[in-house]
């Protein structure tokens, strides 16, 4: 019985439906598309490193710009303080002038020019 | 005459090699030729394991997809048809396992320990095989297919199906017993 089964089974042929090859072809095409999208791991690592470097350089440039800006604002502040100092000096000179007047004295000529 | 046959076989082997190379390169025409050449045999194999033709065809298509996607793993040592058959059998077993159709629960105490020798000639034809296999439970049918037709060893069947060697042996004895009963019925009806 076993031998008969073995011999007869080997000659079994069944015709698949006509659409079956089309289904296989379509699925092979889909798999191919996915394969193309998937990146080579080495390329993926290289792309990641490039991305990190780009990000780092952008951050570095941004920091530099901020530093320049803060330096500029400090200069402005110094100018403003200078201006305030001048006012103080004018005020001090006027105080001095009043003291000189009270003592019936004249301010030195170099101070009058200020 | 001998030389003539040798050259015909040689050219066939060469054609298959060329076809495989083209398939490997992703040539759809070559893949279609290969499919058309082997699909009837492969569907026959799947149908021996799976009782519904539509399900068997789905399994065959899945098998061909695996064949085309893993063609680079074929080492050219054995026959290409043998390699394809193994993929189809694995696919069929996976399909049965997924649907839990290979659940075999047996009380080994009631199983026959020895099978009786029967040398009767049953005059089977290829069209008798599938209708007889369809009448067997999935477990009997799978072990019978693997042992008798594919000529796997009980150890290999046990590994493939995730059962013990003894279960494989007992399933085979029971399958043969049921098979003989079915063949006797068929003979009597004629």
For chain A, first and last CA: distance in Å?
130
Q: B-chain residues within 8 Å CB-CB of A1?
A: 118, 120, 122, 176, 179-180, 183
Residue A74 reports pLDDT greater than 80:
no
Q: Is the pLDDT confidence value at A68 over 60? A: yes
For residue B56, pLDDT beyond 90: yes
Pull the structure tokens for residue B144.
């019978």
Lowest mean pLDDT among A83-92, B113-122, B133-142, B164-173: B113-122
Residue A21 — pLDDT band, cuts 50, 70, 90? very high
More confidently predicted of B56 and B189: B56
- Range with lowest mean pLDDT among A59-63, B32-36, B61-65: A59-63
CB pair distance less than 8 Å for B130 and A20: no
Q: Is B176 on the interface with A (CB under 8 A)?
A: yes
pLDDT at B117: 66
Residue B100 has pLDDT above 90, yes or no: no
Each domain of chain A, given as residue ranges in start order, spans 21-112
Q: Report the residue of chain B nearest A21, measured CA to CA.
A: B32
Using CB atoms, pick whichever of A9, A14, A24 lies closest to residue B149: A9
The dihedral over CA atoms of B35, B39, B41, B45, expressed in degrees to the nearest 10, equals 120
Contact check, Cβ <8 Å, A24/B68: yes
The whole-angstrom separation of Cα B125 and Cα A9 is 9
Min Cα distance B138 → chain A (Å) is 17
B158-177 pLDDT per residue, tens: 998 888 899 899 889 988 88
Whether B60 has a pLDDT exceeding 90, the answer reads yes
Closest residue by Cα to residue B190 from B108, B123, B133, B92: B123
Of A6, A17, A24, the CB nearest to B148: A6
Chain-centre distance of CA A20, in angstroms? 53
pLDDT at residue B104 in the model: 61
How close B105 comes to chain A (CA, Å)?
A: 25
Interface membership of A41 toward B (CB under 8 Å): no
A20 touches chain B (CB under 8 A): yes
pLDDT of A62 above 90: no
Structure tokens at B45: 């194999």
CB contact under 8 A, A24 and B64: yes
Say which of A4, A9, A21 has its CB closest to residue B48: A9
Give the DSSP per-residue string, B100-134.
Answer: TTT-----GGGS-SSPPP--------HHHHHHHHT
More confident residue, A91 or A25: A25
Among A18-32, A55-69, B36-50, B131-145, the minimum mean pLDDT is found in: A55-69
Query: Is the distance from CB of B169 to CB of B179 less than 8 angstroms?
Result: no
Mean pLDDT of all residues in B93-120: 67
Q: pTM for the full model?
A: 0.67
Both structure tokens of A14? 């069944």
Give percent of chain B above pLDDT 90.
Answer: 44
Cβ-based neighbours of B92, under 8 Å, separated by 6 or more:
B45, B46, B49, B50, B56, B59
């Amino acid at each position: 019985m076993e031998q008969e089964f073995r011999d007869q089974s080997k000659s079994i042929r069944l015709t698949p439906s006509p659409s079956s090859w089309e289904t296989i072809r379509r699925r092979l095409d889909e798999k191919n598309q996915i394969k193309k999208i998937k990146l080579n791991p080495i390329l993926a690592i290289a792309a990641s490193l490039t991305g990190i470097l780009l990000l780092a350089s952008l951050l570095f440039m941004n920091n530099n710009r901020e530093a320049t800006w803060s330096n500029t604002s400090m200069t402005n502040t110094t100018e403003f303080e200078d201006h305030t100092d001048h006012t103080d000096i004018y005020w001090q000179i006027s105080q001095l002038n009043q003291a000189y007047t009270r003592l019936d004295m004249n301010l030195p000529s170099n101070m009058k020019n200020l | 005459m001998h030389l003539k046959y040798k050259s015909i076989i040689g050219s066939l082997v060469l054609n298959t090699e060329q076809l495989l190379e083209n398939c490997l390169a992703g040539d759809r025409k070559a893949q279609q030729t290969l499919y058309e050449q082997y699909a009837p045999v492969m569907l026959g194999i799947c149908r021996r394991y799976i009782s519904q033709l539509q399900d068997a065809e789905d399994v065959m298509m899945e098998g061909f997809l695996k064949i085309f996607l893993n063609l680079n793993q074929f080492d050219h040592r054995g026959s290409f048809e043998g390699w394809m058959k193994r993929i189809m059998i694995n696919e069929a077993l996976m399909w049965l396992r997924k649907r839990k159709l290979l659940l075999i629960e047996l009380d080994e105490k009631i199983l026959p320990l020895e099978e009786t020798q029967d040398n009767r000639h049953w005059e089977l034809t290829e069209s008798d095989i599938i209708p007889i296999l369809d009448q067997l439970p999935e477990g009997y049918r799978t072990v019978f297919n693997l042992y008798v037709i594919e000529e796997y060893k009980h150890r290999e069947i046990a590994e493939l199906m995730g059962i013990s060697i003894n279960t494989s042996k007992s399933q085979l004895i029971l399958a043969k017993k049921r098979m003989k009963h079915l063949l006797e019925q068929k003979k009597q009806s004629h």
